[in-house]
């Protein structure tokens, strides 16, 4: 979602009609996860008539002035609710909370980040994509990786960054250039590491490795990594 017109959510009326549901039965939360959407947040919220109120235990979010958040499992709702109840005594909102030390503008939001590219970060991107594809091909789309519960978006970001680094011949902190040889060597290394750790557990790591290498080395960045992965998923089912 990039702008306010994207959030009219034409799929909702269609789904309600298709499923025979009353109008406004479906309600959802719209996540502001695209930079351009940050410039139209008020408009987006104004268009959406109803948001699902979700919670998770996160004291920083509550203390920063957020009115709610989301959880990965319904069982965590009471735990998260207690955190927000402690910070929101009147049970309404935190519109009056000010952050005088915080400032941002369009320049800060659109300036490229500074820093170095490390081998650890390079390997992390490969490992995350391998781990997610392995689980996805086995039928699980929500995967715990590095102590975080991740979905396809995380794998998409990781493989896209790998593709970008290769296309632009990015240099790692140690001076090495990200080239096809380094990509193949590191994917093979991370694949072997995951196979050893998996042991006798059924996995789809070799197929995940094959897909990842294709995604990173292809001349044009493919739309979604799950599109090609579906072919292997259905092949295994049949």
Alpha carbons 77 and 54: distance in angstroms, whole number: 7
Query: Do the Cβ atoms of 187 and 126 come closer than 8 Å?
Result: yes
| Span 83-93, pLDDT tens digits | 888 888 776 78
pLDDT at 53: 41
| pLDDT above 80 (res 208) | yes
Alpha carbons 181 and 146: distance in angstroms, whole number: 26
Neighbours of 193 (CB within 10 A): 14
Cα-to-chain-centroid distance, residue 201: 26
| Span 222-238, pLDDT tens digits | 988 888 888 887 776 55
What are the two backbone dihedrals, phi and then psi, of residue 20, each rounded to the nearest 5 degrees? 70, 30
Alpha carbons 55 and 76: distance in angstroms, whole number: 8
| pLDDT above 90 (res 41) | no
pTM here is: 0.65
* Across 92-96, 151-155, 200-204, least confident range: 92-96
pLDDT at 184: 98
| Span 145-187, pLDDT tens digits | 887 778 899 999 999 999 999 999 999 999 999 999 999 999 9
Structure tokens at 14: 């269609």
């Amino acid at each position: 979602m990039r702008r306010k017109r994207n959030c009219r959510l034409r799929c909702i009326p269609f789904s309600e009609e298709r499923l025979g549901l009353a109008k406004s039965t479906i309600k959802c939360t719209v996540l502001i996860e695209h930079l351009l959407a940050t410039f139209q947040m008020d408009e987006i919220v104004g268009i959406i008539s109803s948001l699902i109120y979700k919670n998770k235990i996160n004291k920083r979010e509550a203390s920063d002035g957020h009115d709610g958040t989301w959880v990965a499992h319904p069982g965590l709702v009471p735990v998260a609710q207690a955190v927000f109840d402690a910070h929101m005594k009147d049970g309404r909102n935190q519109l009056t909370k000010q952050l005088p030390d915080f400032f941002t503008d369009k320049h800060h939001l659109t300036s490229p980040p500074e820093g170095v590219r490390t081998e650890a970060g390079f390997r992390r991107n490969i490992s995350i994509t391998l781990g997610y594809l392995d689980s996805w091909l086995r039928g699980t789309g929500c995967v715990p990786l590095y102590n975080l519960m991740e979905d396809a978006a995380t794998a998409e970001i990781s493989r896209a960054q790998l593709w970008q680094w290769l296309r632009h011949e990015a240099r790692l902190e140690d001076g090495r250039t990200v080239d096809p040889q380094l990509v193949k060597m590191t994917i093979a290394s991370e694949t072997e590491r995951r196979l050893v750790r998996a042991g006798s557990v059924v996995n789809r790591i070799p197929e995940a490795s094959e897909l990842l290498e294709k995604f990173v080395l292809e001349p044009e960045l493919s739309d979604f990594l799950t599109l090609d992965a579906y072919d292997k998923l259905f092949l295994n089912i049949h």
